[in-house]
Structures are given as C-alpha cells and as structure tokens.
Amino acid sequence: MAVKITIEPFGVFEGKQVQKFSFVEDNGISVSIINYGAKIISITTPDKNGNKENIVIGFGTMEEYIEHDIFYIGGVCGRYAGRINKGNFLIDGKEYFVSTNVEGFCLHGGFKGFDRVYWDATVLPEGDGVAFSYLSKDGEEGFPGNLKITVTYRVFNNELQIRYHAATDKATPINLTNHSYFNLSAKREKNILNHHLQLNGTVIAEVNENLIPTGRFIPVANTELDFSALRRIGEASAKLGEFDHSWLILRENAGLEEAATIVDIESGRKLTVYTTTPAVHFYSGYYLEHGKLGKYAGLCIETQHFGDSPNRPEFPNTILYPGKEYRQETMFQFSVMQ
C-alpha cells in the first residue's frame, strides 16, 4: 500500500522550527507526528461505513500542546516512563537522585521529560516514516549518562510501527513509551466508557496509595481489573472509577506479542496493540477533566516496563549499561470489525 508524505511547519519551540510529518496510505490510515516531543498528533482511520476520522487526542498549535503538557498527550515518555519512588535509586551501589515532579516521586522523566523537548527528524529512505533522535545529556533531570535515543515511526498496511533504540556512556535506567490517548469513536464529546477492552495478562503489579509498585504481582480474575476477555470499560469503572495499572503480558516468546485489543462497536473500529515489552499499562484518562478535555476523553495503552523497576530487583531489568543497546518495538494495528 503506497504512502504519501507531506512536511509542513507546525510552530516554533525554543527558537527552533517544529515540523509536522504526515503519512497517508492509499485507502488506509493517515498519521501525523511533530518533532516537539515526537508527538503523534493525529491518526485517521475509517469506520465501518468508510468514514475517516481522527481517533487520538491532538491539537493544531504548539500553544495548545504547551497548555496541556501535564497530560503527556501523544508524546514519548522518558527517560523513565512511569513512577520512580522518591526519585532515587541505586546502580552498582551508587545512589542517584532525579527530579520529583510529582510530590514523592518522579513521573515520566521529570519536569521536562522527552515529551517536552525538540527532536531532530529524518524521513526514512522508503518515505513511509520518520526517525526522531535526541541526546539526553548526563545529569538531565538527574539521570546519569549521555543517552542517545532514536524513535522511528513507520506507516504500512494499516499499521503504525514504533521502534525505540538507545545507547549510553554511563549506566542509567531507561523505560520509553508513547502516551497517545485513543478514542475510537473519533468524537471528542464522547468518552471511552463504551469501548470494549481486552488485555493479555492475568496479573497486575500491586501498587500503594501513590500508585508505586510494591514488588508483588496479584491476580485479577473475577475483579474489576479482569480484562482477560473483551469487556466494556464503563462496566468495570462503575465500581473502580480510575484505571492506572500495569499488567504482566502473557508471552510465548521474546518478539512482538499481543498486548491489548480495543473495540468501539458503534463505529466498528478496532485497535490491536503488539509489543516486545514485559508490561502493558492501561490509563483511562480519569484526570483529563482538569485540562478541559473531559474525564475519560481518551485512553492510553502504554507498552513499557513496570514503574519503580530500578528499585525492584524482582521486576525485569531496566538498567542500560555502556556497550549495550536498548531496543523496544510496539505495533498499533487498525482494522474494522467484520
């Protein structure tokens, strides 16, 4: 399926021109991304009647993104996506202190995470995607090491592929994800409570009152957190209210594994998410009401490692050492239900 690309100015950030890169498939999806925060600003997909509409929360100006930057909308979260308790951790016996942008912990990389920086951009030779690169300098937000990151977006066959790569000159925690808010109904005035969700996991990381993992995994069978089969989100949220939890993905191998399926029956749209990460984090957009977007206006499926992993040796390792490479891949597959 052929892909057409357009590049146009989007705004200015810290004196640099921000560009919008749009990729349009013939008879398929369209994706637009900007190099401020490597943010996905729109994903247009057809419904069951062939109507193409944007299914992610996005804005048309830099000013709007800066106004709503507390929600990480569409951006790449890092250096560490999720929470780090008390903003400190040990690596090989040395203690590090990073920004505590939320009282008591570091969230999504600190006060100025990767979703709030300018990324250099290069269109792929095939013309079907773009590679964003960023150098996170030693000491940025308190994290050790000069970390070179590349995030590559590629559009093909009604799929959006995101590949992450990083290398460092000093041992450092790393956990990257994309923080797009999906609403498959494509109608901002609606919420996602009538969406149906399935997650490929039977246990979650137990958390305390600040949503910091305790290190334990607990089963979700027959609870409000049980999404082992397609289930209407509103049914579960009627009792629980907020979803902000990480599921351990059931894996058959180390490659791409199905992590989540989202369905909007009214529009017929379906999103299937595949990833190489050990966890999938479901956030229901509960606090979007504070940004005039509306509670539950969109949901996030964050493919990543578990929160506070640098302090939890029982979790999969998130420390990257010099000479090693960080690699992660996530695939969003868009379709219409038959």
5 - beta bridge partners?
A: 23
Tell me which residue has tokens 């008879």. 27
Helices (H), 35-184: 62-67
Both tokens assigned to 77: 């979260």
Q: Which is nearest to 147 in space by CA: 168, 118, 163, 131? A: 168
Domain that holds residue 140: 3-336
Cα(143)–Cα(174) distance, integer angstroms? 9
Task: Tell me what pLDDT residue 117 has.
Answer: 98
Both tokens assigned to 244: 């902000």
CATH value at residue 72 = 2.70.98.10
Whole-structure pTM value: 0.97
Task: Tell me what pLDDT residue 291 has.
Answer: 66
Q: Which is nearest to 299 in space by CA: 195, 175, 176? A: 195
Cα(250)–Cα(119) distance, integer angstroms? 34
Cα(153)–Cα(202) distance, integer angstroms? 30
pLDDT in tens, the chain (338 residues): 789 999 999 999 999 999 999 999 988 999 999 999 999 999 999 999 999 999 999 999 999 999 888 999 999 999 999 999 999 999 999 999 999 999 899 999 999 999 999 999 999 999 999 999 999 999 999 999 999 999 999 999 999 999 999 999 999 999 999 999 999 999 865 899 999 999 999 999 999 989 999 999 999 999 999 999 999 999 987 667 789 999 999 998 889 999 999 999 999 999 999 999 999 999 999 989 776 788 999 999 999 999 999 999 999 999 999 999 999 999 999 999 97
Burial group, residue 200, by CB count within 10 angstroms (0-12, 13-18, 19+): buried
Cα(275)–Cα(328) distance, integer angstroms? 8
* Phi then psi dihedrals of residue 115, to 5 deg: -75, -5
Q: How far is CA 179 from CA 40, 91, 149, 182, 282, in A?
A: 9, 27, 17, 9, 11
Cα(22)–Cα(68) distance, integer angstroms? 22
Instruction: Assign 69 to helix, strand or coil.
Output: helix
Q: Which is nearest to 261 in space by CA: 284, 229, 234? A: 229
Q: Are 260 and 199 spatial neighbours (Cβ–Cβ below 8 Å)?
A: yes
Q: Which is nearest to 179 in space by CA: 112, 227, 246, 108? A: 108
Cα(255)–Cα(278) distance, integer angstroms? 11
Both tokens assigned to 289: 């009401």
Task: Tell me what pLDDT residue 189 has.
Answer: 55
Q: How far is CA 83 from CA 52, 283, 303, 334, in A?
A: 36, 14, 14, 30
Cα(278)–Cα(204) distance, integer angstroms? 12
Tell me which residue has tokens 């246990």. 203
Q: Which is nearest to 283 in space by CA: 207, 174, 337? A: 207
Q: What's the total number of domains in the chain?
A: 1
Q: In what order do the strands lie in the sheet with 52-54?
A: 3-13, 16-25, 30-34, 39-46, 52-54
Q: Which residues are catalytic?
A: 179, 302
Both tokens assigned to 113: 């995470």
Instruction: Assign 116 to helix, strand or coil.
Output: helix
Cα(152)–Cα(162) distance, integer angstroms? 6
Report which DSSP code applies to 238.
Answer: H
136 - beta bridge partners?
A: 147
